[in-house]
Amino acid sequence: MSTIVETSEDVNPQATPVFGDAPRRDIGQLRFIGQFLKPYKLVVFGALVALVVAVAAVLTFGPALRNMVDYGFSAEGLESINSQFFSLFIVVMVLALATAVRFAFVSWLGERVVADMRARVYNHVISLSPAFFEENRSGEIASRLTADTTLIQSVVGSSASIALRSTFTAVGGTIGLALTSLKLTGLVLLAVPLVIVPILVLGRRVRNLSRSSQDRIADLGAVVTESFGATQTIQSFNHEQEDRHFFSRIVERTFDTAFRRIRMRAAMTFVVIMLAVGAIVLVLWVGAGDVITGELMAGELAQFVFYAIVVAGAVIGVSESYGELLRAAGAAGRMLELVSVVPEIAAPENPIPLPAEPLGSVLFEDVTFHYPSRPDSAALHGLSIDIQPGETVALVGPSGAGKSTVFQLLQRFYNIQGGRIMVDGVDAALADPADVRQRMGIVPQDTMIFAASVLENVRYGRPDASDEDIQAAIKAAAVDEFINDLPDGLQTELGERGVRLSGGQRQRIAIARAILRNPPILLLDEATSALDAQSEQLVQQALERLMENRTTLVIAHRLATVLQADRILVIDQGHLVAQGNHAELMEQGGLYARLADLQFGTERKAAEAAASAGLA
């Protein structure tokens, strides 16, 4: 957990992770949400119509109240008041129906917009190169896809509608005030700046605190994701107590930031209510005097009071909704940052097609490469290798020499800084990355098993494969040897990262994927490193059959696994220092001979010790 960097508690935009050119953090960021509403214009229009009808229904209560006060409380007015109340009952029915329709429409919009947004952001992020994930924590990205979109859903499905309703009500109520008494309305309008100014001033602070609060939640999600993925390591080192303290600090920091936002929201609400309602009370005091002097009828004052209360409530509703809209703007900004990241690896406008018939040739021509996270240290220095179709080539060298980098560049995960990489005679940088990767199958050292069934994990190698092909791949990779021990056979759910399998079993599933893919270029990164002797022999036989008539690149630290390679490339500190078969390299001496002597000598001593102990 010590690798996690604690961010500042200050509300400083530079303290938050930056995914690209961050947009301005203001209410205008809600335009990002607007593009997801465009496909549903009819639903938006229906919601607006229902909202306007509901507001109009509310505003009709003003004249009804005026008539009841001025004309209804008398024997002559009995028929009139019956008519008034019957009309009000009709208005209530219209109000109820319009409100229900509005609620249904905006709730559907909230769910639909967030579903579309999550799909779009996920589709974009999953296409980004590994360099992006080197510099950004996956837990925070997940938080943006969950917590931030949930906030946006709440706003689209509720707060935005409330803000519009309050705005329309405030405008309609103000018109009603003006039609009732221009003098009193003028006094009310004088108080408007007193209400608007604190909304703008305090709202800016709420906006910044909202963004900071969302960043702290993202930090929290990143810590949880990392911890839950490393529970065995945590418990192995008895690090639970330290991690509890660390998580508690993150939680408290998240709470403190949220509480600062709540205090600011509360202060803004207090100021708005005090000024808005206080101004109305002052105006009503003046109105009461006008009634006594005969300048205003009692019914007109009652109507004015009704509209004044409606406007005050609407202003308060706008101020509260504005705070929620600011939070949504912060969330929209964070989502916009994600989709604004330009993928470093993308297909050219006019990609060069690879040959229709795969050849399996690979050429590294004077390739120089720096990882984005280590720009000052080159992983490869002018590397040149030429691999012919059908050739089996082994890459050996000490850890960190650049062997895995060769595999990653071959799969177009990064852009190189110098030279070029050719696949089947085509510059990989000028081809569609998907076409390049389609020609390769990899068995990695650290196998990724998804939280799905055995069948689905194997089918990952070729989604359109038939059940017969999958069964053949499973048998060839010796996966069938342990399937019968699983509770549901091929349908057994393997859990997150395949926690229900041993390392060797996970490795065999990865090999089955590669066999199912049937690629012209096969990449084996310590493919049998996690297998026991018996499983290794079975899998090695399957791999030998798989390697026939295809180009194969093998990374192996155990030199015994590469003795049969057509050629061995020795890489050290990003340079190709020697190449040849095992006998030639042993004769040349150098790094390979030293590695072989060290490894085979150690194995020979172990065998001699076992023999002397009667265990051989």
Residue ranges matching CATH 1.20.1560.10 in the chain: 24-340
* Residue 369: φ, ψ to 5°: -150, 135
pLDDT of 602 strictly over 70: no
Query: For residue 27, what pLDDT is reported?
Result: 66
Query: What would the pLDDT profile of 241-286 be if each residue is shown by its tens digit?
Result: 888 888 888 888 888 888 888 888 788 778 877 877 777 777 778 7
DSSP readout, 321-351? HHHHHHHHHHHHHHHHHHHHPPPSS---SSP
Q: What is the pLDDT of residue 17?
A: 42
Structure confidence by residue, pLDDT tens digits, 144-155: 777 788 778 777
Q: Which two tokens stand for residue 407?
A: 């595999």
Give the residue among 345, 408, 331 at the shortest CA–CA distance from 121: 331
State yes or no: pLDDT of 13 exceeds 50.
Answer: no
**Spatial contact of 392 and 521, defined as CB atoms under 8 Å apart:** no
| Dist CA 386 CA 395 (whole Å) | 13
CA distance 254 to 217: 6
- The CA distance from 8 to 12, in Å, is 8
Is the model's pLDDT at 614 over the cut of 60?
no
Identify the band that residue 6 occupies on the pLDDT scale cut at 50, 70 and 90. Answer: very low
* The predicted structure's pLDDT at residue 455: 83
CB 508 within 8 A of CB 539: yes
If you average pLDDT over residues 398-406, what whole number do you get? 87
What does R_g of the chain's alpha carbons equal in angstroms? Answer: 35
Angle at 325 between CA 322 and CA 329, to 5 degrees: 135
Cα–Cα distances in Å, from 16 out to 136, 210, 259?
A: 11, 13, 19
pLDDT exceeding 90 applies to what percent of the chain?
A: 8
Per CATH, the homologous superfamily of domain 445-518 is P-loop containing nucleotide triphosphate hydrolases (3.40.50.300)
> Which helix (H) or strand (E) element contains residue 521?
strand 521-525
Please give the pLDDT value at position 607. Answer: 44
Residue 366: per-residue pLDDT: 92
pLDDT at position 242: 80
Q: Categorize the per-residue pLDDT at 512 as very low, low, confident or very high, splitting at 50, 70 and 90.
A: confident
Distance CA 294, CA 291 (A): 5
Better-scored residue on pLDDT, 393 or 82: 393
424 vs 75: which has the higher pLDDT: 424
- What are 107-141's pLDDT values in tens digits? 888 888 888 888 888 888 888 887 787 777 777 77
Tell me which range, 78-87, 366-375, 522-531, 544-553, is most confidently predicted by mean pLDDT: 366-375
Q: pTM of the prediction?
A: 0.69
Element (H, E) at 272: helix 240-293
pLDDT confidence tier of residue 15, bands split at 50, 70 and 90: very low
Task: Calculate the alpha carbon distances from 555 to 212, 385, 563 in Å.
Answer: 45, 15, 12
Task: Tell me the per-residue pLDDT of 545-588, one tens digit each, with 9 for 90 and over.
Answer: 777 788 999 887 666 667 778 899 999 888 999 888 888 888 88
At residue 76, does pLDDT exceed 70?
A: no
38-49 pLDDT, tens digit each: 888 899 899 899
Confidence tier at 9 by pLDDT (50, 70, 90): very low
Rounded to an integer, what is the distance from CA 613 to the centroid of its chain? 57
pLDDT at 595: 82
Average pLDDT, the chain: 78
Question: How far apart are alpha carbons 612 and 557 in whole angstroms?
Answer: 27
Instruction: Decide the pairing of beta strands 378-387 and 362-370.
Output: antiparallel
Q: Residue 225: helix, strand or coil by DSSP? A: helix
Residue 410 has pLDDT above 80, yes or no: yes
The answer for residues whose C-beta is within 8 angstroms of residue 531's C-beta and 6 or more apart is 504, 507, 508, 539
Length of the chain counted residue by residue: 616
448, 379, 444: which is closest to 409 by C-alpha? 379
C-alpha to C-alpha distances, 237 to 110, 122, 203, 224, 289, nearest whole angstrom: 45, 35, 47, 18, 79
Rounded Cα distance, 484 and 462, in Å: 23
Mean pLDDT along residues 485-506: 76
Residues 6+ apart with CB under 8 A from 169: 55, 58, 59, 310, 311, 313, 314, 317
Residues 6+ apart with CB under 8 A from 568: 393, 394, 396, 562, 579, 580, 581, 582, 585, 592
pLDDT of residue 79: 65
Is 50 exceeded by the pLDDT of residue 22? no
Has residue 606 got a pLDDT over 60? no
What pLDDT digit, counting tens, does each position of 438-468 carry? 888 888 877 788 878 888 888 888 888 888 8
Residues 6 or more apart in contact with residue 200 via CB below 8 angstroms = none
Start-end ranges of CATH 3.40.50.300 in the chain? 445-518
Q: Residue 536 has which token pair?
A: 């290794």
The C-alpha atoms of residue 101 and residue 382 are separated, in whole angstroms, by: 67
Instruction: Convert the pLDDT of each residue in 181-239 to its tens digit.
Output: 888 878 777 777 777 777 777 777 776 777 677 777 777 777 777 777 677 667 766 77
What is the per-residue pLDDT for 80?
64
**Tell me: the pLDDT tens digits for 416-436?**
899 999 999 899 999 998 899
Domain 24-340: assigned CATH number: 1.20.1560.10
**12 has a pLDDT exceeding 60:** no
Structure tokens at 613: 């102990």
